[in-house]
Chain A
């Protein structure tokens, strides 16, 4: 389902349908996170991606009022599909030839880690500096977006 809706995201012609397919992809990925016992990440995925980012995209899409153009693909369509499939095959071969895959299959369940408390402790103890850096990056992103999108007076 994830793969199907991500293919739809790339393949559909109308950008609004693409957005809906992307939303479906995000929800399915959140389901995968729940399967992996990462409930906090799943909640964050739904809130931030499906809630905030998708709404931002939809707003801009409605604002721009795009007309669906006829030639929506690049001319090098088949070449890029071909190289994409080749890259996919290479990664999959590397994946299944790699040693230690069999050992990884039987890794057990882990109950305690993956909840919000463990993530919070790890975030604010081990990864405090990256956390601050991410804050600064967000601040820079906000300022950059505002400066870019500001209406420049006509010269």
Chain B
């Protein structure tokens, strides 16, 4: 039986890696990947707790999170396509249209 804390450590590390990825990378696409990593870390946490508390709540919320992640991916990719059409880059440093 694997203790709960192992899952928590793995998901924490994965979350922090995703966080560093959002902060560090310049490519918009990779930033979206890092956001997916963070959502997955949250999923691991939810499923682990729902396993150890013996309830299905975590599973259901994990389903919702996966759905939201898919929607977020679709909208984010649409934004990337529009930006790429306008500026021919995915570098977040060069996207400063809203800057005043």
Contact = CB atoms under 8 A, between A and B. Distances in A.
Interface of A: 2-3, 6-7, 9-10, 15, 18-19, 22, 25-26, 29, 32-33, 35-38, 40-41, 44-45, 48-49, 52-53, 56-57, 60-61, 63-64, 66, 69, 71-74, 76-77, 80-81, 83-85, 87-88, 91-92, 95-96, 101, 104-110, 113-114, 118-119, 122-123, 126-127, 130-131, 134, 137-138, 140-142, 144-146, 148-149
Contacts of A71: 26
A118 B52 CA distance: 16
B77 A145 contact: yes
A119 B26 contact: no
Given A101-B4, A138-B71, 11 more contacts: A2-B10, A2-B14, A10-B33, A45-B43, A49-B40, A49-B66, A64-B29, A72-B26, A74-B24, A95-B9, A130-B64
A41 B59 contact: yes
Contacts of B19: 84, 87
27 contacts: A6-B18, A9-B34, A9-B37, A10-B21, A19-B33, A22-B36, A25-B14, A38-B51, A41-B62, A60-B77, A64-B80, A64-B90, A69-B26, A72-B26, A84-B16, A85-B16, A87-B19, A88-B13, A95-B12, A104-B4, A105-B4, A122-B57, A130-B60, A131-B64, A134-B64, A134-B67, A141-B72
